[in-house]
Each structure stands twice: as structure tokens, then as C-alpha cells.
Amino acid sequence: MSAMVEAGLTEAVAEVAAAAEKYAEETDEQAVFPVQALDAMRATGLLGLMVPAEFGGGDGDLSDLVRVTDALARQDMSVGMIFAMHCQQVLAIVRHATGPLRERLLSELGPGRRYLASVTTERGKGGHLLSSESTTDQAGNRLSIDRDAPIVTGGLHADAFLITVLTPDAISPAQVSLVYADRTDLQATVLGGWQPLGMRATQSVPMRLVGSVAADQVIGTPGGFHDIVADTFGPLAHIGWAAAWLGAAGGALSRTLHHVRSEAGRKQYDASSELLLSRIARIRARLDTVNALIQQVIRRWTEEPDHTAVSFQLLVNTLKFQAAEQCFAAVDEWVELAGLRFGYQRRSPLLLERVFRDLRSASLNYGNDRLYLVNGALALRDRQVSFG
């Protein structure tokens, strides 16, 4: 990234982070989408970060994605998640769309005005990403969609959706395609509310999407969603989420360290206390571990063309459950350290209570328990225990 683009990016991130910070309490309280932060992402073009320069995008790499997500999540984890998941959709298009469709979509996405939401959840399949029960019909060159999705982050505000559906001629629930649908091609109905414990501002509502799209709006090969998941969707989900969780936990740690070293904090904490020092060390180590894992996954994803290698898949999944567990544990420890007054109360300036609620979602966001099973099966395939 050139120095000029870099300066523009720093400014854009600062503007979006400021909007996130200003409205975080309100959007958390009301469990509504951070529209002001989204407006700022559009106005600054930050939504175009991952689009190649030839299409007018920011030409960012995964390190840029992590850096920006981290910075936004320090103010509001929901905003970081929203941004990272949008970038995951964009990269799926960059890497898997072909021909005129790719040209058209990337030209639209490059300026960073359009926000993409993901529709992969489905009732009845228990969160299994790789199967679908949503049939499609092809009549002429139109593909009709009638999709019920229990969780659509940002569904009320997205300009377009990437939706998983069965191929029209599917003989089994595993023949899943990823389809691009413009909001104007769909009738989007919100089927219920969103009142969770944390990450409330993602406003991930249940929706029904009905309409039709041009039959050539399939990203990648028809029925080939599995390949997109292995190459891009899976790694990017885990990198993006981990960056948001690390940013949220890092923000909490930073605010608390500022407090400990402030005049008021020095009266409250004895900085030579062995208990305090060893707890701070443990919290910091958790976050350094997650950061190291993120960097290692980025390095291998960037340097190795084959993202289906067993050792890489193991690492990508390990990043997810380690980031989820370590970031939550770090904030949990801070709550313990900060006590009832600074750690446990709503609107404490350290914001530990909100970050604690937000990070409780991390292990549930594609369940850790399920990923452990997958990694157990993968580890059995690698008797040599090679780290790639």
C-alpha cells in the first residue's frame, strides 16, 4: 500500500472509529445497527478496502483487514465484526467470481459505498455451513430464491447479499451455490427481533428473502460453495472474527492500563502488587498468543496457494477457538481485577461490562464445540503431526 493510500486509510479508520465510539452505548442499549459507523464506512470508502486498485478499491491485504478491524473493535466489537464480515464477502467475490460478473461487482464495490451481508444460516440445519435445504428454480435466465435465514447480520442495511442456496438440479443438500443478489431484486422481510446478551449492535435479525436474480450471478462454480469455504470463507471468517475479538479485548486492556496508571488508579491499585503484575502478564500473554496465531494464519494463507492442506485447516480452526477462549478469558480476568465498581457496572468508563458481554458470543459464533470435533477428525489424518 502506497504512503498516500496509507495516510488516507489511517484517516478513514479514525473517522469510522470515532463514529463507532460516539454511538456505541446507544446502539448497544437499543440493540440496533450502528448506522452512523456504516455511513462513515461508506463516506470514507473504507468498505472498498479489499477491492483491487484496478477497480478503484483500497487494494488492501489481510494485514490491512486485521489492522482496521482491530482498530474499530477497540471502540465497538459489533462494528469490527460488521466490517470484517463485509470484507469476507468482498474477498469471496475477488477470488471466486469470474468474467463479466466479477468485473461488474468489483467496479460497484471498489468505491466502498456498498455494504454486503452474508446469508448462510438456515433453519433446520443446525448451523451447518456446507449444506442447505433452500431449493432454487431456474426459469430461462432467472434463478428464483425463497430463502429463510434465522440470523442475518446487517440484513436491514445491506445493499446486496451473498446467499447460500441449493443448485436448481441438486440431488443432495450438499450441492450448495453462493449467489449474489442485489437488494432491489429481493423482497426482504424481517421475521423477528434481536435481543441478545452481547454484540447487540450487529442487529442480526431473522429474515426471509424472496425474489430472483440473473442465473449467472453464481459466485464460483454452481454447487461449488465448499471450495469457496475452504479457500476464502472459512479462513477469512476466522481471521476477521479473531481480529474483532482481539481488538475488543485489546481495547479493554488498554483502557484498564490507562486507569491503573492514572492518579486515581494509583490510589486504587498497588503497581508493585505481585497479584496485579502476574494477572496483567497473563492477560497480555493471552492477547499476544491470539495475535501470533492471526499473523501465522495470514502468512500461510498468503504464501501457500493450497488452502485445503490438513495442517492449514487445523491452524485456521485453532485460531477460531483459541481467539474466542483467550479473548473472553482475558476480559473475564480484568473484570475480576477491576472489581464491582469498575469492572461490573454498566457505563463504567472502562467498558469492561459491555466487552465481557460482547466476547461471550465468541465461542458460540460457529460453535467451538463443533470445531473441536472437526479438528479432532483432521488431527487423526496427520499422524506425523506436521505443522506445515
Partner 1 sequence: MDNNFSTMLRPYLKYAGTIDIGADSVLRDLGLDSMRAIELLFAIEDTYGVVMPDEYLNDVAFATAGSLWAAIESLGPAGRQS
Binding residues for partner 1 (CB under 8 A): 130, 171-175, 223, 226, 230, 308-310, 373-374, 377-378, 380-384
Numbers of helices and strands, H then E, in the chain? 12, 8
CB closer to partner 1, 19 vs 129: 129
3-state SS assignment for residue 118: strand
The minimum distance between CB 316 and partner 1, in angstroms, equals 13
The minimum distance between CB 174 and partner 1, in angstroms, equals 5
CB closer to partner 1, 159 vs 227: 227
Using CA atoms, how far apart are residues 127 and 345, in angstroms rounded to an integer?
Answer: 33
The minimum distance between CB 312 and partner 1, in angstroms, equals 11
The minimum distance between CB 293 and partner 1, in angstroms, equals 21
CB closer to partner 1, 226 vs 300: 226
CB closer to partner 1, 183 vs 300: 300
The minimum distance between CB 128 and partner 1, in angstroms, equals 9
CB closer to partner 1, 275 vs 385: 385
Which residues are CB-neighbours of 96 under 8 A, at least 6 positions away? 178, 219, 220, 227, 228, 231, 232
CB-side neighbour CA atoms (13 Å) of 7: 2
User: Which helix or strand (DSSP H or E) is residue 290 part of?
Assistant: helix 274-303
Q: What is the CA radius of gyration of the chain?
A: 21
The DSSP code for 224 is B
CB closer to partner 1, 129 vs 205: 129
Asked whether 75 and 34 are in contact (CB, 8 A), the reply is no
The minimum distance between CB 156 and partner 1, in angstroms, equals 33
3-state SS assignment for residue 191: coil
